[in-house]
Every structure is written in C-alpha cells, then in structure tokens.
Amino acid sequence: MEKKKPAIQERLPFNEPAPCPTVPVPPGPIPAPPPAAPRDQVTLTVDDKTVRVPEGSTLLEACRTLGIDTPTLCYLENLNPVNVCRVCVVELEGSRTLVPACSRRVENGMVIRTDSERVRLSRRMVLEFLASSVNVSTAPELQAYLEQYGGQPERFGPAAPPEAAEEPGTERPAVDCPTDGRTAATVAQPVKIDNDLYIRDYSKCILCYKCVQACGEEAQNTFAIAVAGRGFDSRISTEYSVPLPDSACVYCGNCIGVCPTGALMFKSEYDMREAGTWKESDQERTDTICPYCGVGCTLTLHVQENQIVKVTSPLDQEVTRGHLCIKGRFGWQFVRGKGRKK
Amino acid sequence: MGGGTSSYQEIEDSDLILLWGSNARETHPIFFHHVLKGVNRGARLFVIDPRRTSSAQWADGWLGLEVGSDIALSNAMAREILDAGLENRSFIEHATSGFDEYCRSVESYTLERGERETGVPAESIRKLAHEYARADRAELCWTLGITEHHNAVDNVLALINLALLTGHVGKYGSGLNPLRGQNNVQGGGDMGAIPDRLPGFQHVESDELRARFERAWGVEIPPKRGLHLSGMFDAMEEGKLTALYILGENPAVSEADQGRAQRLLGGLECLVVQDLLMTDTAAMADVVLPAAAGWCESDGTVTSSERMVQRVRRALSPPPGVRDDLDILYELARRLGSDWGRPDPKRIWDELRELSPMHRGMSYERLEALEGIRWPCYDESHPGELFLHSRLWQEPLLGPRAPFSPVEFEPPVDELNERFPLRLTTGRRLDSYNTGAQTSSYSSPLRRGESLDLSPEDGERYGVLEGERVKVVSRRGSVIAPVRFDTGLRPGLAFMTLHFPDEVQTNQLTIDAVDPKSGTAEFKASAVRIVKLAASQPG
C-alpha cells in the first residue's frame, strides 16, 4: 500500500519553534589528551659531544639532535625501523660489530663514533654493493651518499650481460649471472607494467622493505607484497608472483610513496621520463586537501606545465602520515578530463 | 553545533571502536588506517552492517542486521545495559535529562525482540551491549548506513542515547563520529549551507543572532528557515519553486527516485548549473557556469570529519573561460546591483571569523602554521578542541544538560512482499565516488562496472548466473544490470552503487521517502524483484 504524502507545508517543520540550542553553549575547558608518561633523559657521547635525549630514543635521533648527518635508506619517519640496509651504522664502544643507528636505542654512557674510518668503510661498501648491482639512476639520495663516501661501484667491473629473458613475472634476478670476477652481478630485469596507475622496475630495487611495510601492518594492511627468495635472489613479490591486477593490491600507491629509488613509480611519471618530458626542476609542489571523502587528507600536487603529474602526501601530516588511497593518489584526471569546458 | 566529537588520534587510542553503518575500509580508507592502528594496538572493533564488508573482515564481531533495524538494535542494547546495571549512573545524573522517559521507551526492546526485528542473534546483541558499556574508552562512528533512511535523525539520536547512557562522550577516546562523505560537507554545514542555520551553526530563527548578521551585512535576512534539497523537489512538484541555481551537485542522477527528479528538473522555468564538469544535470540547464575545481584551482578552506579546518590551495590555472566560484558569485551580485568588490578568500574568511565565534581564532596565518585547526577555536590563543563536550564532565556541569531522545523502531518505508521480495541497499566502492563524475576519468584496475550484487543462495533461488543480465524492478522504475555474487551478502539482500549512471541508473529504483528532519532520502532500503530477461533464459 502506497501512503499518500502529506503536503509540503505539513511535512516540513516551518512553523515549529526553533529547536535548542539557538543560544550558543558556553565554551568548556580546552580538552587535552591524558598526559604522556614522563620519560627519563639518557646521556651519551656522540663524536666526543655529550647529548641528552629522552629514554627510548634511537641513536639516529641522538645524532640528529646534534645535527650529525647520518645516511639512511631503509629508514623512514612514518615506518618502524627494519635495519636492513646497514648504511646508517655507527661504532659503539664495547660492541664487536657496528650497530644500526636507526633502530638501536640509546643507553646511559654509550660512546658513539659516526665518522671513524671503520664506519666510513662500512657505509662505502654498502653503497658500492648496491650501486654496482642496482640501477640507481632515479635514486638521487643514494647517489649523493655514494659521492659523499667516495664510493666506486665501477671497481667491481661492468654489469654482467643480462640473462636471456624469461617469462614475464618469473624473473629471478641475476641468480645465475656469470661471476668470473670481471663483471658485476646485477638485478637487471624488465620493467613490470601491468596496470595504468603505477609501474614496478625491480632492477632499481635495493630491497629496503619499505614498500612491504607500507603495504602491510604499518599503514595499508593489505599485505599484497612480501620479500621472496634468499640471498642475492631476494626480491619483492606478489603472492605466487602474479601480476598486480591478480593480486590483493588495492592501488593505494603507498608503496610508491615510500620507495627511495624510483623502482616504484607513477605510470604518469614513468611515461614522461621515457618520453624525455619529465622536468623535476620545473615542477611546483602545492599542498591542498583531497576532493573526495571527508577525512581531510593533505595532497601534495606535483605540477608541471599546469598539469598534475604526481600526488604525494607529507610524511609528517597527522591525518595521512604520508599515506593515501587510490582516489586521492590517482583520481585527479578529471580536472583535465573530457567533461571540462574547453 | 554539529560535528564529530572526537579526533582521529583518539580512534587509535580507544579501547572499543564501533563502525555502525559504515564501510570505512572502502569509503574512508585513511580514517580506517587510524582504526587499524587502534586494532593493531589491541582495540576491539565491532562492525554493524547488513553486509559483511571489507571493514567487517577486521572486526572482532560483525552484527549483520536487517537494513533499517538500527533503532531496534540500539534500543535493545540500551535495555540490556540497563538490565545488567551497566549504565553510567553518575554521568547520567550529572549531565543528562530525560533518563526515566528513555528507560520506559526501551523497556519493550528485549533481546528477544531485538533478535526478531534485527535478525542479529540475541547473544551477539548482549555481548556488544556489555562490551560497549564496560569499555574504558569507546568510539561510535557511523556513515550513511545510519543517515540514508526515512528516519535518519532518529537513527542518530538512538546512537547518541547509547553514548549518554554509558558516558562515552566528552572525554578522550570516547565519542560520536559521523564520518563525512565529501571533503567539505562538514564545512558546508559550518558555513550555514543548511536551511535553518547561519555560519557557525547560529540559528536563523533566533532574532538576536540574526540581527548580528543583518547589522554586519546591511541587509534583512528572512526570519524563517528555508528548504532542504528534498523539500525543494516537493516544492517543485507543487509549483512553488520554479527557478533553481545548483552549485556542484548532480541531482539529475544522485537523487532518489531519479525519474521523478529528472521530470521535476525538466519542468523548471529556469535552471542554472555551476559546475566543474558537464554533468547530466548541467546538460539540462538553461545556463551553465563553468567553475574552477575548488580543491586545486582556487584558494579557501574545507572542514573534515574531525572538525579540522584546512586550507585548500590553487595549484593549477583553470582552463580558459572557466572562473572561480567566488568570481562567478561576485559577478552575479554585481549584475544584480550589489558590488562586493574584488573576491578575496582571506577577506571572506576574516568576515566569517567576525561573525562566527567558533571560528574566531582561526586566522589564515594560524591555519598555515598549525596545518589546520579543529573548531571550536574562540580566540587566537585557543588551540581548537581535540574533542567536543568536555563541559559535560565539569563539576559543576557547564551549560545545559544533554537530553536523552527516546525513539521508536520503524521499518523502511518500501515494504517487502511477494512482489518485491528483495531488499536493495546502496553504497560506494573503494575506487569510485558518487555518480562517477570525477572518478570515471581515471583508469582503475579494480573497477568492474555496475552490477546487481546478490548472495549466491539468491542466485540459485532465482535461477540467475554470475554475469547474467537481469531486469531489476522496484515500485518506481526498473533497470537492467549484470548479476554478481557476493558472499558478504545474505539471502534476501542485494547491493548496487550509484557510480556508473551511464551503464545503470540505480536511482530509478530507489525511494524518495525522506526524513522530515534532515531531508535525507532512504537510499539504503528499496524493495525490488528480479526478472529474468527472455533472451538469456536457457533453452
């Protein structure tokens, strides 16, 4: 039975008295979160300088407090340290081995050296190994460290010739490379382009694990990728190495957001680089708010020649912590779409 | 003041999170990151949704209630809390009113009745009631599953009642949070783009408040509230509204009972549409005013689901011939004989700060420096409020008591019967948005187009196969859509989106049964049947 609608004047509360509160409620006290538990201060010595930092801080934080520049590759402010790259190592008095600054917690009385010959040698070797086996052409940070530490990756010889191409998706990087001592084994392999949003070029991957973390428990909790294989054969892989569209991937692009080497890249950036039209120095970055749902994610729009070419989010932004969803990161084409007035 | 009472940081620090009528995993993905931080730190998560959604997959408990039975569930929870003596007596006595009447109103909602009306096992209702009442901190969050009903406001009141009963509001980690579906739907309300309010939620029918605006603007303001969107359509039907000026909305597609909406829009004497894109509504207009994209081609602010006022900034120049919304409105004012000068977002914002006490402390400089401020923010030394209603816990109580609002369960208007046996509900998918005007321009590997999602059991019952195109009929209209099976749906429940109107005009099916208090239509509950198409019948 369809009910007949009452007329509009009966249905809308035109003539009701204004509901409460027409008079503003008085301001209450300013709410605050419960106070954090007090943290003791820890005193240690770094490069002959004494520093006091809160208990629970890392050596990296102590170094940064002193303004000591410490290279990092696998570390990122919005992720938990996994200390796999070993480029941040420092010398700790009384310790047999060098320790990773990104994850080692401070203790009272520690004596740290960040610029000893041993530290410099270790950092240089790590950078040389990476640069000899990985294409670092889109990793400016790593290149800068290499120069800073006098690394000479070419001393391992020219890159070994690539193996005959295998089935796409089954690449086992360089596992059978000839290692006659005159050429350097590499992880060279074809770029994976299996969707219109982003590409994966694992010949540029230094296995820093950041993408795995961002896809996993630290942000997206989708768990579409993990590290497969062992030793030099280790690589980032979807389940059973399936193409992305067949995997659990939801295209948030949070893996691209944390990738330090350009191995993971917007398709728009990849295409422009291939065409020679990518001009990073001409790009302006502007922070604004995502046009979609009401969460209020900050988008950093990378704009070249009045076109959006890439979207990121600041790592220190409290809403996003650098992470976005598929719409925020990739859903901007409509501003230049067919529906706009020409 | 209307807005989410908590901040996202509190969601992470809460002990119990209720997502009620919300599939935040897909519709508010970055909010859900905060939920997951909480869950990974040990918070319990309950999801209340007719569909077993991707959000529900993260929950400690999923309550798959019948569409539109939310009040029966919340009243049954309340009765159980009272029955077990788990209500927060001291808070109720200190800060609320109407408790006795509320108790009487939920008396008939036994667990057995709850189970009967909602389809949720009595034991699950009991468990959720106890967990919610006993939690130290509990956040209740909802979305359109609560508000796209003919009794939307009653649904919200039912949830507020639960928070008042247990004292889960006004303190860190406990609150009531409507998750906003559009980047500035909160800001629109804040700015008075609702029928009964001026900027800062100041009531237009208060002579004192209205007079303040009249003095500042030098004009007389109509002393009665206006119409909301659904009311406008009714007024069109009655011939009382003959000219319409639409900014950034696509009602020809997005309104429930689309056939009626299109007929009424088509019958207007004058339709003006100001939009970024040439939408279906713009295509019907007498005049189209091409507008800049507010989020990347102009300057201003938006307000988020945690009441955070944030700056949007111009990063692109709009295409030639396209003008900023402000430019268009100023030019229109000039042609109507009122010169407002040159549009300047900051100056307009400062005018708002003069008139709206809750925004007063938010200078552009502070918004930049602090990367956003939550309202209310009364002066330039005020940090903005992390959570609302702390006054309810002040000794003595500051301001008026918070009233309980007894509400009764009423099933959806579009009744199920033998002719229309399936309950159709609507919602969003992760990679798409509303009528697809924005999202159809990018290529998403997740996108599969529109479909009629059914439980595999219903597929068998109605003899339809995955991918088979069927006719879906409601009391208002019909569409043809391919079937897709979703094991997250139970028998009797179907799901569609509004994302692909070029393929399927889902709103031909939906009902415009409207909540008289909010003007929201019951998009979430239509009654439909499936008709097999002759061509696809086997043999």
Which residue intervals of chain B bear CATH 3.40.50.740?
185-374
Instruction: Give the Cα separation of B390 and B95 in Å (integer).
Output: 11
A216, pLDDT greater than 90? yes
Write down how long chain A is: 342
Instruction: Give the Cα separation of A143 and B26 in Å (integer).
Output: 39
CATH class of this structure's domain B185-374: alpha beta
pLDDT at B439: 92
Written as six digits, the tokens of B160 are 């507020």
pLDDT at A339: 67
Inter-chain contact B206–A7, Cβ cutoff 8 Å? no
For a pLDDT cut of 90, what percent of chain B falls above it? 95
What mean pLDDT do residues B366-382 have? 96
DSSP class per residue in B156-177: HHHHHHHHHHHT-SSBTTBEEE
Residue in B225, B376, B432 closest to A27 by CB: B376
Range scoring the smallest mean pLDDT among B83-92, B168-177, B250-259, B465-474? B250-259
Written as six digits, the tokens of B137 are 């901190």
The dihedral over CA atoms of A10, A11, A12, A13, expressed in degrees to the nearest 10, equals 70
Inter-chain contact A30–B400, Cβ cutoff 8 Å? no
For residues B142 and B20, the answer to whether their CB atoms sit within 8 Å is yes
Most confident of A232-241, B410-419, B510-519: B410-419
Report the residue of chain B nearest A327, measured CA to CA: B431
pLDDT, tens digit, 9 for 90 and up, residues B454-481 = 999 999 999 999 999 999 999 999 999 9
Q: Predicted confidence band at A337 (pLDDT cuts at 50, 70, 90)?
A: confident
Which residue intervals of chain B bear CATH 2.40.40.20?
422-536
> Which one, of A251, A277, A276, lies nearest residue A264 by Cα?
A251
pLDDT at A18: 41
Cβ–Cβ contact A253 with B under 8 A: no
CATH code linked to domain B422-536 = 2.40.40.20
Residue in B183, B276, B319 closest to A289 by CB: B183
How many contacts, defined by CB atoms under 8 Å, are there between A and B? 255
B534: left (phi over 0), alpha (psi -120 to 50) or beta: alpha
What mean pLDDT do residues A98-113 have? 97
Looking at beta carbons, which residues of chain B come within 8 Å of A244?
Answer: 445
ipTM: 0.96
Distance from CA of A194 to the nearest CA of B (A): 9
What mean pLDDT do residues A165-184 have? 58
pLDDT, tens digit, 9 for 90 and up, residues B393-429 = 999 999 999 999 999 999 999 999 999 999 999 999 9
Task: Indicate the DSSP class of residue A30.
Answer: P
What mean pLDDT do residues B255-281 have? 95
Catalogue all structural domains in chain A, each as residue range(s) with its CATH number: 40-160 (3.10.20.740), 187-334 (3.30.70.20)
Task: Give strand ranges (E) for B364-434.
Answer: 373-374, 402-403, 422-426
Distance from CA of B77 to the nearest CA of A (A): 27
pLDDT, tens digit, 9 for 90 and up, residues B4-16 = 999 999 999 999 9
What are residue B142's DSSP bridge partners?
B20, B178
Write down how long chain B is: 539
Q: Predicted confidence band at B499 (pLDDT cuts at 50, 70, 90)?
A: very high
Q: pTM here?
A: 0.94
Residues near B352 by beta carbon (within 8 Å), at least 6 away in sequence: B191, B199, B200, B359
**Chain A contact probe: residue of B1, B28, B33 with most A CBs at under 10 A:** B33
Looking at beta carbons, which residues of chain A come within 8 Å of B446?
Answer: 250-251, 326
B319, pLDDT greater than 70? yes
Inter-chain contact A327–B439, Cβ cutoff 8 Å? yes
Distance from CA of B495 to the nearest CA of A (A): 21
pLDDT, tens digit, 9 for 90 and up, residues B188-200 = 999 999 999 999 9
Report the residue of chain B nearest A296, measured CA to CA: B304
SS (H, E, C) B14-64: CCEEEEECCCHHHHCHHHHHHHHHHHHCCCEEEEECCCCCCCHHHCCEEEC
Distance from CA of B332 to the nearest CA of A (A): 20
Residue in B181, B290, B315 closest to A341 by CB: B290
Residue type, B41: R
Cβ–Cβ contact A18 with B under 8 A: yes
Residue in A251, A319, A328 closest to B444 by CB: A251
For a pLDDT cut of 70, what percent of chain B falls above it? 99
The architecture in CATH of the region B8-178 reads 3-Layer(aba) Sandwich (3.40)
For residues A28 and B389, the answer to whether their CB atoms sit within 8 Å is yes
pLDDT at A162: 64
For residues B5 and B387, the answer to whether their CB atoms sit within 8 Å is yes
A179, pLDDT greater than 70? no
Which residue intervals of chain B bear CATH 3.40.228.10?
8-178
Report the residue of chain A nearest B298, measured CA to CA: A288
pLDDT, tens digit, 9 for 90 and up, residues A281-335 = 999 999 999 999 999 999 999 999 999 999 999 999 999 999 999 999 999 999 9
CA atoms within 13 A on the CB side of B171: 15
Residue in A26, A33, A301 closest to B296 by CB: A301
B102, pLDDT greater than 80? yes
